[in-house]
Structure 1
Amino acid sequence: MELSSRGAKMSGLSGIRSIMEDIALAASDPSGDTWLNLSPGNPAAIPEVTATWRRLQEEAMANGFAEFSGRYGPSRGSDALVDAIVRYFNARYGWGIKPHNVLVGAGCQMLAFMATTLFTGPCADGHRRLVLPSVPDYTGYQGLSMDQGGIVGVDPGVELQEGRSFRYTFDLDAVRSQTAMGMMLLSSPGNPTGRSIQQDDLSGLIEIAEERDIPLLLDHAYGDPFPGVAQDSVDPPLHPNVINCFTLSKAGIPGERLGFAIGPQDAIDAMLSFTANSHLHAPQLIQATAALALNSGEIDTLTSHAIRPYYRDKRRTAEKLLHELLPETVDWRLHATDGGMFCWLWIDHDWFSDLVLYEALKRRKVFVVPGRHFFVEPFTSPFLADHGTRCVRLSLSPDEAVIAEGIGRLAEALKEMRGAK
């Protein structure tokens, strides 16, 4: 059967998906060797977090399993969860949102897909695109548009800092110069870099959204209020041109695929209709569980006492190991982070390629994510032609022993690549 042009676009195997296939194949390795996986986006299984969610879900089941799982529910989300979201965010940020400003969905990625479909693509005045105002950004965004060429990424600036640190900066003029813009999308803190957007840059993006009369979708999957792994971040903005998306995935329940959007009523109403027309509603039992976590305040306890300290300590450990183990003669830099669950490395040499490193580490039974998957192809700009293939992402979710051994093997692979130049 012949696929449509959109079918061909959506059926393609993305770079990150091919890595997942590699990992699945490695899991069936008959040699019995242990693989070190430094690539996952999964949050760590922190015992306190796992135990709390298990207890809350058991409570939700005991209180109304038949009601939650035995009947259909409202497309906006259960009344209990929507009301809990309204109370929580109004109390925390002094907002005045109402239920019509909220939509519960199957995770931030699905919410972003719905918004991308609604606000980009063919339209009366031509074709509008999704703009990522600063790459690198979450690799899953590149599958959001069903149209070829429907996504464009804006090159960042690069600020070299002391030691082996660097930081990407926003180029607001380059964002403003984009044509046929239908929506902007940004993760903050970012995946893969951990960079949190600062107030001046956020105000600049909102100003552009106002000028173009388009939405700016902010993905807070790693940010405040939960999981709160950013050490320094601005509050989510309540604005007529901003759709804020939140998820419970990085707060400990990624397999349940539960998130929610807060935004202007007209945008939320459009996404609500999309939900009803496509998959009716998000799973209800986990919605009841989430409502308990919000109303009891336990989500804040997990964030402040378990999740944030865990990743802060992991980051410190990883930074120490990188400085101790990576070759001093290799020009590597680590992106300065405000939080997040990853280390983003830039190896600035002509002899370096992220895909060559990926294969070299596979031979050493280690998985990482090549950096090119977080940029938007084709790499036509001079900056991306070099930089886009010279980065790699390491996860902070594995045990410290896995991180330490993985970084040691990374050092070996870099020495091998440098020697073969």
Structure 2
Amino acid sequence: MIQTLDLRGSHLTRAELLARVPRAQVDIGAAVSRVEPLIADVRERGSVALVDQAERFDGVRPSHVRIPPERIQDALTNLPPEVKRALLESINRVQQATAAQVPPERVTTLATGATVTQRWSPVSRVGLYVPGGKAVYPSSVVMNVVAAQVAGVEHIALASPAQREFSGEVHPTILAAAALLGITEVYAMGGAGAIAALAYGVADIELEPVDVITGPGNVFVAAAKRVVNGVVGIDAEAGTTEIVIIADATAVPDFVASDLISQAEHDEAAASVLITDSPDLAEAVRASLQRLVPVTGNRDRVVAALGGPQSAIILVDDSDMAVAVSNAYGPEHLELHTAHNATLVSQIRNAGAIFVGPYSPVSLGDYIAGSNHVLPTGGSARYTSGLGAYAFLRAQQIVEYSADALRDVQLPVVALAEAEQLPGHGDAVTIRFS
């Protein structure tokens, strides 16, 4: 069901570890050539192209791309009470945790009359993408919208694929989540076409271009983000989901197996990886998987994901080696099930989010922990972060010098300008004191 990779006794360099860790094979570059015509089509034909693409890829022709406000409110009215309560709790917790990500304005006084103010300014308009393939993701509405709202973004447009079972409209649970957050600009469009529409705008449906596009999606969404990156900002080129669990002999096998299954049910290419220094735990987790997988709700998808080359049980010599393997992998989600979690947390450098202890499963973070579940995949946690308010903020420096403060640094400015053979730079200062 799941392969075993035995690294015990080996002394691998970082490069060798990067080559050995199991990884989903997602070739975003190969998908670029397939999405470029779709993007060009939307730029040329606007909403007509979006409707044609919905029919081609989603099996339905929406009667309207932009969802009428009354339909959004109807969805909220019909939302089951228990789902509404859960979404409100999620919104509250994510708002609280995200507020910590907005830095305060700071003024640095370098000399009398010389200040540099550091402030963080939100972009004006963002486009948020919510996927609609194998599952429904109102939680992604919460994660994207709350981060943007806490950052102070004024205008938010939300896009999600047209649903055949709902007559070409966005899934009502997605609409209800948008309504709870006060979002009224929602579009039934998906895939590369949606990314193009958000980036370039669509005049015939009064969709204005955005400044930043965020949100998860399949390989074609990721490829489309690559194409429009530079026209707009993007959060990341997201790949398939992944979990790494570091566990020792103290871990509960059923807990570990259940968490591996929870990620595997997302997608056949999802990666579920256990790193352990305990062969006994490895066998116990394998036995748990054999018992739990046949009775899980998305069995076929889980079997495919666990049996793929991207999933594995990795045997290591000790906790230091487990940390080294995990840091080389740079997982989207990392769980720690050991007797020394606090020590391991201090050693982890590369992970989108870290879930500590047996009662902090990744599924908690997916919904209601307060953390954001839009996280870096494919090893990109080694150099980038998950979604947060900072994705919508730009650092700006405000420089203000008085005449006396500028006079005090006149000579250094002139000296550096002459050293760089840019005399006009120096003249721009000295002319003020001629």
TM-score (norm 2): 0.27
TM-score (norm 1): 0.28
